[in-house]
Chain A
Amino acid sequence: MELGQMQGRLAEYTRSLYMEGILDAQFLQLQQLQDESNPDFVVEVVSLFFEDSEKLLNDIARALDQQSVDFKRVDAHVHQLKGSSASVGAQRVKDACVAFRNCCEEQNVEGCLRCLQQVKQEHYLVKNKLETLFRLEQQIVAAGGSVPMAEMTF
């Protein structure tokens, strides 16, 4: 595939992620923090996000599995996950956390388990999508091209 075609494909793919609400403007903000002095910033931050969030999701699952569920603990984890997903622009994960919080307030274990499933699903989705995005970027760089800064034109 030609460089131009690859870049076009990347732009299209990126646009689709915003259109589907998987990413929001915060991700664009993240990309703008990357520069020559810190060329891998986005990948590093996103990796950190996935490491952190996987741990949080496991902690939440464990907390919900207890005989007597400590909803404050679950809430604290959801709180942290919402903060970090909002910070990287993982919009659907963030929204799933908002819904999760309501279940925590109701102290409803079944509801929380459903919410956890939803968050996990969104998390899995954004992880796959971003891995694809980074792979497309790598292909362009490997072919000697540069990755254009994404534009919010919608």
Chain B
Amino acid sequence: MAPTIESVNQGNGGFEGNNKRSDRFVKATWKNKLTALVVDNGELCRVLERENLRAYGVETVAVETGEAAVELIASGSTFNLIFIDMYLPTMSGPEAVRQIRAMGARSKIIGLTAFITEKDEQDFFAAGIDEFFEKPLDPDWFVPIIREVDNQI
């Protein structure tokens, strides 16, 4: 699948993604300041997911465990988007999502996995995710999701 480089210009003097690395070239600008939480136990996947989102102008925080994600949200942090792996070591992805939804979080939650199976799909959607994708993050599918979230704010 050919990658796409999108320079999405949302115009209207939108708030440009505010990344820590200030001189990074950001591939997209959005109307709103957008934030994301990445939850993945694997360092490589976690780093790549975070960097992909930051490259597209989304302020992103990454944590290793379901517990850490739940704790962050319980402490009052809110995120427009949450990308969460199915298989987390102690608290599973679905369990973390259940707890996050139980706290009233209305983030767009995207479940991720290395291999999609019907059972995993059912479990994860039942827990409260909005979308389910096989890794890795690909701008072809995650940019439209970000755009949708941006337009809904």
Contact = CB atoms under 8 A, between A and B. Distances in A.
Interface in B20-36: 21-25
Interface string B40-80: 00111101100110010000000000000000000000000
B150 to A, nearest CB: 21
Contacts of A82: 114-115
Interface residues of B, number: 29
Per DSSP, chain A at the interface is helix
Interface stretch (A83-91, A106-114, A124-132): A83-91
Given A37-B23, A87-B45, A152 B2 contact: yes
B44 A49 contact: yes
A123 interface: no
Contacts, number: 77
B52 A33 contact: yes
Given A29-B3, A35-B25, A87-B135, A79 B87 contact: yes
A106 B137 CA distance: 29
Contacts of B3: 25-26, 28-29, 32, 152
B136 interface: yes
B16 interface: no
B116 to A, nearest CB: 11
Nearest to A25: B3
Interface of B: 1-3, 5, 21-25, 42-45, 47-48, 51-52, 55, 85, 87, 113-115, 134-139
8 contacts: A29-B138, A30-B48, A33-B55, A41-B51, A45-B48, A48-B43, A83-B136, A97-B114
